[in-house]
Amino acid sequence: MFQVEESEECSMLRETVRKFAETEIAPLAAQLDQEEAFSIPLTHKMGDLGLFGTIVDPAYGGQGFDYHSYIVCIEELARVDGSQAATIAAHNSLGAGPLYYFGNEAQKRHYLPALSTGRALWAFGLTEAEAGSDAQASKTTAVYDPITAEWVINGSKLWITNSACELTTGITVQAVTGKRADGRSELSCFLVPVPSRGLTCRAMKDKMMWRASNTGELFFSDVRVPDFALLGKRGDGFEIMMQTLDNGRLSIAAMGLGLAKGAFSLTLQYAKERKTFGKPICKHQAVSFKLAEMATRITAAQELLYKACRLKQQGSDFQKLAAMAKLYCSEVAEFCAREGQQTFGGYGLMKEYPIERLYRDAALLRIGEGTSEIQRMVISRYIGC
């Protein structure tokens, strides 16, 4: 339906991940969502399929996929289930990503092989109670102790994906390490292993969406890490976090595109089967126009996202298109989930029908990893406002 020009290798990968999502994830998705349960066996299986360390060079144990192929994996998972897609997107883009792009040789050799297996998760600790959109407002501190040559971390983080489950092995934490000459906070990033003395990781429950993905709240009380834990140089923290978010926007966009496609195919199938006034509802203009609008927006979203991926792969500036893709794909996802639910009528309000879960999952996409408002702010800067 949504034609894609991609290599034979990539389209085989797409088929493999789609089949896995449909046969292994789909039968469990509703129950995991209902029970708000993170599945270790499913995570292991995704690891066996090669969905961890996707963009990491094989020299560090990764799969060495190009960016488009990685994005295709997220998209195909998200067609079926946002929670499993979130585990993979957060781990690869936000967890392994900064380590791979900014880690020194010793850090990469130490951490990346295990992070490419599906047996060990790594999280990204940026957000705090009062530092979400305003990412420079972090209050968590790291103070150097020259006697022991360690950094001592104090503070807390919130809404951190993959940070509080049995498979969590570490978190990249943004912390204030001093004051810059211009009066702003000096921010640095630290690789904090889990468990660490003084670190409490608590799973956050009662989410509306992505209920089978793990979300944590973290408390740091005199957590000590060695100099080895510093990612990049002291003071590089904000730039590392911002560049990581630029990449993360592509994977959230892929979650939006996948969810939109999932909602579209469920709706089309239902609209062909369900009859009213003597004919399938897809033959009523009220419904066929909805499907036509969904297909049009999905096609546009796909072109935008894949173009942003091409630019990233080529090493060209992709940041503006990444923000546009994140914004647009999230909005298309929400549109398709809502119009799909509307087409299902009363059934669309029942948990028995996956469109109900897709409708809830779509809400996260316009809020998480930079709200739609933040994307518009980023885009407006790029266009010279």
Site residues (CB under 6 A) for ligand COS?
A: 124, 126-127, 132-136, 238-239, 242-243, 245-246, 319, 369-370, 374, 377-378
- State in angstroms the smallest separation of the CB of 293 from ligand COS: 29
Complex with ligand COS: residue 115 or 355, whichever CB lies closer:
115
Distance CA 345, CA 172 (A): 44
Complex with ligand COS: residue 356 or 369, whichever CB lies closer:
369
- State in angstroms the smallest separation of the CB of 137 from ligand COS: 8
- State in angstroms the smallest separation of the CB of 295 from ligand COS: 30
Determine phi and psi for 37, rounding to 5 degrees. -110, 130
- State in angstroms the smallest separation of the CB of 89 from ligand COS: 11
DSSP assignment of 116-171 equals TTTS-EEEEE--BTTBSSSGGG---EEEEETTTTEEEEEEEEEEEETSSSTTEEEE
Known catalytic residue at 36: no
Tokens coding 145: 């102790």
Catalytic one among 75, 76, 356, 369?
369
Residue 297 CA to chain centroid, in angstroms? 21
Distance CA 165, CA 372 (A): 28
**Residue-level length of the chain:** 385
Complex with ligand COS: residue 78 or 86, whichever CB lies closer:
86
Complex with ligand COS: residue 363 or 377, whichever CB lies closer:
377
Determine phi and psi for 213, rounding to 5 degrees. -100, 160
Residue 252 CA to chain centroid, in angstroms? 5
**Between β-strands 275-276 and 279-280, what pairing exists: parallel, antiparallel or unpaired?**
antiparallel
Tokens coding 327: 């914004």
- Alpha helices (H) along the chain: 8-20, 26-35, 40-48, 67-78, 82-89, 97-102, 105-115, 237-273, 285-314, 319-344, 354-365, 372-382
- State in angstroms the smallest separation of the CB of 338 from ligand COS: 24
- State in angstroms the smallest separation of the CB of 233 from ligand COS: 13
Complex with ligand COS: residue 36 or 236, whichever CB lies closer:
236
Task: Please identify the residue of the shown chain whose CB is closest to the bound ligand COS.
Answer: 370
Complex with ligand COS: residue 84 or 127, whichever CB lies closer:
127
Residues marked as catalytic: 369
